[in-house]
Every structure is written in C-alpha cells, then in structure tokens.
Amino acid sequence: MNSTEKRFVYADNAATTRVSEAALNAALPYFRESYGNASSIYSLGMNAARAVVSSRAKVAEAIGAKSGEIYFTSGGSESDNWAIKCVAESGAAVGKKHIITTNFEHHAVLHTCQYLEKKGFRVTYLPVDSMGLISPEQVKNAICEDTCLVTVMFANNEIGTILPIPEIGKICREKKVLFHTDAVQAVGNVPIDVSKMNIDLLSLSGHKLHAPKGIGALYIRSGIKISNLIHGGAQERTKRAGTENVPSIVALGVAISDAVKSIEEKQRSVSEKRDRLISELLKISETRLNGDPEKRLCGNVNISFRGIEGESLLLSLDLEGIAASSGSACTSGSLDPSHVLLAIGLPHETAHGSLRLSINEETSDEDIDYIIDTVPRVVKKLRSMSPLWERICRDEKIADR
Ligand SMILES: *Cc1c(COP(=O)(O)O)cnc(C)c1O
C-alpha cells in the first residue's frame, strides 16, 4: 500500500458477494476433517451426509418449502437450465411445446429458451414496460392450450425491478401451467414463500447471498415429475448426479438462513442508503434512473449518464477504488448494450452509458459518501473529453456541469 491509501468500495454485489465469515467457518471442517463422501456408509461419510441433510432443511425453510423439495445444484445457471429444459421435455411428451418468459431474463433463462426454440419449441417473450414490469394479464393472455411452462424472474439483476410473482403464480395455478422463477437476485432480499406464491420451481444461487460460487439449488414442488439434467450416480434422491459439494452445501445453508433472518431490517437500512445514492447521482445533469423506483431490490442502483461510455466509467471508477458494473458481468467484454436496458426501451447510446451499483448490508454510510463524491467528478471528467457529450451539448444546448 502506498502513502496515498485509497478507499475500496465494493458495489457489485449483484455480480457476486463476499463469502460470510459464518458460512466460511461452517464449511471449513468439511474440507479436511469430515471430508468423507456423503454417500459412504462409514462415519466419516455419514457426518458429511448429516451436514447435507441439515443444510437442505435450512434452504427449504428459507423459501417456505419442504426439505424433500430442495435439490442442490452447481448454481443459478444449472438450476435454470434444469427447470426449463426438463419441464419442456415433459411438456413435449404430451404435445405441449409452448413456453412463456420475458424479454429481459438472465441469459441462463434466455439462452436456454433460444436453444429450445431451435429444438422446435415455441417461446413467447413478453415485453416488459419502461420500468421492467410485466402485468399478470400479459401472462394470462399468452397462455395457450399447449403451454407447458411460464418462467419469469423474481427480480431483475441489472435494474432491480421486482416482478408481480404471487399474481403470476396464481394465474399459472388456475390455468394448470407450471411456473418457474429465477429468484437468484431475490432470495435474501425479498421474503419468499413458494407455497403462498404458487411457485412450482425456483432457482437460487449461493454466491449472490454470501455463500461460495458454484453452489445453488432448485426447488421442485413435490408431485412434479421432471427428468434429470445431470445423469450419473444416485445423489440428490437420484435426481442430480455428482458427489455432493459438502463444504459449499454447508456454507449455503448457513448463508441463506442468515440472509432471510433479517430481511425487513435489511430492506429498511439498505434502501435508505440506496435512495440517498440515487437522489444524489440524479443531480448530475442528463442522467436517468433505470428500473422501478419502488418495486426495486433494496441494493440496486442503475443510472444512465448521457454522453459517456459505461466501460470508461467503470475503468475510471476502478482507479478510484470503486468496483461497479455496467449492464451485467456476463455482457462485459462484448460491445452489445445490455439486453435489459434495450428491453425497457433505452436507445443504444443511453444504454451504453449505464452504471449499476449494487450495495448491501456491508456497505457503510462512508462508502456511500465516497461514491457520491467520486461519481460526479469522474462523469464530469469523462464528459469533458467526450466528443459525444460535446455533440449532445451543441445539439441540445445543455449547460455543461
Ligand atoms: C447470477 C445470476 C444467475 C446465475 O447464477 P450462477 O450461480 O452464477 O450460475 C442467474 N440468474 C440471475 C438473475 C442471476 O443474477
């Protein structure tokens, strides 16, 4: 560390989170002490198996499910692939080859749907409105005789909009169509009860809630028969093969219990910080907030700045010690603007100049102050060098601030 010690602010919790100390400490004994295979019958293996049982109960409790309805997977992407591909397969077997989703899902859902289209399925991509919302009526009107699945994300990872999941669940149950939700961003941020909300399948991921990367779960309501995505051994009640990732499963159990313990308190304190951040950043000229101001994840800030490139903004913020994101991590490295921002109707140019700051309960008031101090300065500097901003000012006579 040099003499000018720099602040580091991690504001990319929607991309991944830091593993909590509690989750790490709970996992550690399963690396070098209770390292047995959870399928073995000697005590070393049984210890691991017991830990898996207890973690499954914790995950189930966190979303109002029963233990027998939870299947551990390698993460959100696998859970989404499993739910969608395998429900589609069952649907096809009885002549139902239509799927309904939205046009702003995570790529784990969108690319799976596109893959199924190539395999002869019909997919309806419901267009979200300018806030990133769809109405339950849109879903209702899209359901056909041959619809086998509705898959709608609980909360959007880029703009933070929370969708009307209980209302959509009710419609799907009435119409007897299976309902899957990618709740990766919602678990731990929004109270979830799969039975009250009529959710049939739900994907969640560990690394978005302070557990390690590479662990997740799929909730499958009991009574739903779905084929395997991963074939092999008899793990996960024969439904998902592969030796159990015991340390990560244990960490997920601890992290998810912690995450749902204090959702109301977290929502209150984090959204207060979020709103301060939003109102201060919107004081910069020619900016806009993306996503619904109210139906919004407590930690999500997504703002477009006209006249600058998101990528250069991110690089400049990194030099100032702020880790943030533009669009989603999955699209970085490509020059296409985020499909989510295009879906809510932003022009390409505006979508390109977007910044996502995702904060959480670990973000301090001083961190927020630092962001509020840094972002306007960086935006001003980038705009002063931007031919695009110069053109905007000339064409629209905006006073440069
Ligand atoms: C992160 C994320 C995923 C992917 O989860 P992984 O565990 O990284 O595979 C899927 N959906 C949403 C909404 C996400 O935010």
Task: Considering the candidates 113, 144, 148, 330, report the single residue annotated as catalytic.
Answer: 330
Contact criterion met (CB below 8 Å) for 107 and 336: no
pLDDT at 3 over 80: no
Ligand 1 atom closest to the CA of 213, numbered from 1: 7
Measured CA to CA in angstroms, residue 309 lies from 275, 300, 331, 351 at distances of 24, 20, 14, 9
Contact criterion met (CB below 8 Å) for 86 and 203: no
Ligand 1 atom closest to the CA of 108, numbered from 1: 10
Please say if 298 is a catalytic residue.
no
pLDDT at 397 over 90: no
pLDDT tens-digit readout, 15-48: 999 999 999 999 999 999 999 999 999 999 999 9
Buried b (16+ CB within 10 A) or exposed e, 307-318: bbbbebbbebbe
Mean pLDDT confidence for 104-114: 98
81 close to ligand 1 (CB < 6 Angstrom)? no
Residue nearest to atom 8 of ligand 1 (CA): 76
Per-residue pLDDT at 331 = 47
Mean pLDDT of the chain: 95
Distance (angstroms) between ligand 1 centre and the Cα of 283 equals 32
182 close to ligand 1 (CB < 6 Angstrom)? yes
The values of phi and psi at residue 217, to 5°, are -155, 155
Mean pLDDT confidence for 154-183: 98
Per-residue pLDDT at 337 = 87
**Residue the block writes with tokens 């600058």:** 308
Distance (angstroms) between ligand 1 centre and the Cα of 149 equals 20
Determine the residue type at 257. Answer: S
205 close to ligand 1 (CB < 6 Angstrom)? yes
pLDDT tens-digit readout, 218-250: 999 999 999 999 999 999 999 999 999 999 999
153 close to ligand 1 (CB < 6 Angstrom)? yes
Distance (angstroms) between ligand 1 centre and the Cα of 210 equals 13
pLDDT tens-digit readout, 307-354: 999 999 999 999 999 999 986 444 455 567 899 999 999 999 899 999
Per-residue pLDDT at 328 = 43
SS3 379: helix
Per-residue pLDDT at 395 = 87
Q: Residue 6's pLDDT band (boundaries 50, 70, 90)?
A: confident
β-bridge mates for residue 301, sequence order = 357
Ligand 1 atom closest to the CA of 105, numbered from 1: 13
pLDDT tens-digit readout, 45-75: 999 999 999 999 999 999 999 999 999 999 9
Per the structure block, which two tokens stand in for 364? 């301090």
Mean pLDDT confidence for 102-123: 98
State the Cα–Cα distance between residues 74 and 376, nearest whole angstrom: 39
State the Cα–Cα distance between residues 184 and 111, nearest whole angstrom: 17
Backbone Cα Rg of the chain: 22
Distance (angstroms) between ligand 1 centre and the Cα of 198 equals 22
Mean pLDDT confidence for 286-303: 98
**Residue the block writes with tokens 């793990």:** 235
How long is the chain? 401
Contact criterion met (CB below 8 Å) for 316 and 378: yes
Mutate to test the pocket of ligand 1, among 19, 78, 106 (most ligand atoms within 8 A of CB): 106
